[in-house]
Amino acid sequence: MFVNSAYWNDSRIDFKDKKHPLFVGSCGTYRLLTRTKLPTHRPRGRLDFQLLYVASGKGHFYFDGKENIIPAGNMVLYRPREEQRYYYYGADQTEVYWIHFTGSNVTNILRDYGFRENEHVIHSGTSLAYSQIFQQIIEELQNRRPHYEDACVYRLHLLLIMLSRLGEKRTHRKAQHMAGQMHAAVNYFHDHYMEEISMNDYARSLGLSVSWFMRSFREYTGSSPAQYLISLRISAAQSLLETSDHNITEIAEAVGYDNPLYFSRLFRKQTGMAPSDFRRQLQAWNEEHEEGAAPAIAPRRVRKSPASE
């Protein structure tokens, strides 16, 4: 299981802040690779708010005792002292980002951004921009540069603004239809990323103009179809580098690249290091940290324990 998380003041104890309108307590990400199940159950909830983003796979969340299967492209919001019960399964290859936040004015801030009082599930779409914001907050909490608390709050505001604007678009029927088509495209890319995909042929198979498809996909996900596909492939390659003994050529072919040199160049551009260096650094990191422990710094992932959230 890949884990990367950070906590304000290095404390994993939840708290309620009354000095700031909004304050970030912790942030992290994890991805199930070899672990079969990852459960969380907090009958009395926490003192702070929690927002979880399902970036890939799916999660099993319980609200009012009823199970809800939440697929990738959605966020889940928990409020203070609200029961939290959810499960992830390794077979789903689930990847989740999470953030805990508190403050004296959180309820009003969420209301101003259009979040309903009893809203749990927020349809966000799958966007690399979300993952980047979470990763930036993690790095701020880890590095603790001057004014890092303010930087975390700024990025959380940015995330909430993105969700608020998306909520406004969903009020229009045409936007809802577009979101359904783009969600289907995202699922298709997740299922077929290892194959050769022609964006022109895919758009035409749905009866869409190529330009409309490209524009709508970028609006929905925050990246072009081609860049989204590259990120999926590199993310899959990272998983193979971590969980298998396949060589670089075999991994390149497994994720859709016939040319291992081209694959290595793309991998370096996306992650900042060569595939072999990524594997070596991750192996060294895994030897130094027990599963589920918060790393000081982990190899940078493209997209990206409940017990420690």
Written in H, E and C, the secondary structure of 166-208 is HHHHCCCHHHHHHHHHHHHHHHHHHHHCCCCCCHHHHHHHCCC
Q: Token match 């998983």: residue?
A: 239
Residue 114 is given by DSSP the state: T
Residue scoring higher pLDDT (309 or 207): 207
10 Å CB burial of residue 206 (0-12, 13-18, 19+) is exposed
The DSSP line for 45-93 is --SSEEEEEEEESEEEEEETTEEEEEESSEEEEE-TT--EEEEEEGGGT
Residue 230 is given by DSSP the state: H
pLDDT band per the 50, 70, 90 thresholds, residue 2:
confident
Q: Which CATH class is domain 2-170?
A: mainly beta
Please, where in the chain does CATH 1.10.10.60 lie? 173-288
Kind and range of the H or E run holding 157: helix 148-169
pLDDT of 239 reads 82
Question: What mean pLDDT is predicted for residues 141-146?
Answer: 94
CATH of domain 173-288: 1.10.10.60
The tens digit of pLDDT for each residue in 255-302 reads: 999 999 999 999 998 888 899 988 888 777 666 654 444 444 445 555
pTM given for the model: 0.63
Q: Token match 């497994």: residue?
A: 254
The tens digit of pLDDT for each residue in 148-201 reads: 999 999 999 999 999 998 765 554 445 556 777 888 888 888 889 999 999 999
For residues 113-152, one letter each, b for 16 or more C-beta atoms within 10 angstroms of the residue's C-beta and e for the rest, the string is bbbeeeebebebbbbbebbebbbbbbbbbbeeeeebeebb
The tens digit of pLDDT for each residue in 25-82 reads: 999 998 887 778 899 999 999 999 999 999 988 899 999 888 888 888 889 999 999 9
Kind and range of the H or E run holding 100: strand 95-102
| Of 182, 186, 184, 190, residue with least CA distance to 255 | 190
Please, where in the chain does CATH 2.60.120.280 lie? 2-170
CA 302/CA 71 separation, integer angstroms: 20
